[in-house]
Amino acid sequence: MEPSAGEAGAAAQPRERVELAAAYRLIAHYHMDDSIFTHISSRAPAGEGEHAFLINPFGLRFDEVTASSLVTVDIDGAILRDEYGAGINKAGFTIHSAVHAARPDVHCVLHTHTVAGVAVSSMEEGILPFNQWSLQFYNRIAFHDYEGIALDLGERERLVADLGDRNVMILRNHGLLTCGRTVGEAFALMFNMERACRAQLAIMSSGGTPRVIDRELAEKTARQYEGWDKHHEGNKPDPQWDAFQRLAIKHYPGLLD
């Protein structure tokens, strides 16, 4: 049987590039992008450089990113591959290189500036334990204070110190950040974190009285989420990410280019 166009395109590009390009298209699909700004990065294929990672070329919208257009850059900022030829956003490099250098367990870093995420990041309380979506993050969010546009490489040390070993972070007055052992895990964390922020804003603007979940139940539910995620370890299949990738390739087959 002849492979489909999608299968043939996927086979022509390394898996790391296809998955990251799919994540870019999905962030745009769910309206979590911000023009040509914010970034998703992942470890580069082994043959593209030691300690290198992939990131979007500066100037492309998320819905324009393809597997081949992703830029390969090393931890020191040297461009190793750039088919689009526009380089990268320096602010994005500051944040993403910091995490990749400090956290060898992290394969993918995802950062967004959504209205809901920025709104919650601008609240002292952060994400509140109002519902099941928010409980995934109960007592598991790191916080990093705003220091201006992330152009100062000195901020990297402070950012990773604040992140520690956690996989979700609120960048105060700025936005949201997630880390994953896979692209799928980082995307799922951001997808759920964004929904928790949207739900919180809807609850707080409804005029009703928010019902806060007690600490013991909140912690129990957070641990249930952690147990549920065990299938993400290693190279085990992730059915949710597989489903998201099918959606991305169905609607945006150009990402495979």
- Give residues with Cβ within 8 angstroms of 12, minimum separation 6: 256
Residue 58 DSSP label:
T
The per-residue pLDDT for range 199-233, each reduced to its tens digit, is 999 999 999 999 999 999 999 999 999 987 665 55
* φ, ψ (nearest 5 deg) of residue 228: -65, -30
In this prediction, residue 194 carries a pLDDT of 98
Cα separation, 85 vs 124, whole angstroms: 41
Tell me the pLDDT tens digit for each residue of 133-171. Answer: 999 999 999 999 999 998 888 999 999 999 999 999 999
pLDDT on residue 233: 57
Q: Is the pLDDT of residue 247 over 50?
A: yes
pLDDT, residue 151, reads 83
Domain ranges of the chain: 12-251
Look at 5 and 255; give whichever has higher pLDDT. 255
Q: Beta 141-144 vs 168-171: how paired, if at all?
A: parallel
Model pLDDT, residue 232: 52
Asked if 189 and 124 count as a contact pair (C-beta separation under 8 A), the reply is no
Contact 57, 70 (CB under 8 A): yes
Binned at pLDDT 50, 70 and 90, residue 4 comes out as very low
For domain 12-251, the question of CATH label 3.30.565.10 is answered with: no
3-class state of residue 42 by DSSP? strand
CA 120 – CA 131 distance, rounded (Å): 15
CA distance 41 to 180: 10
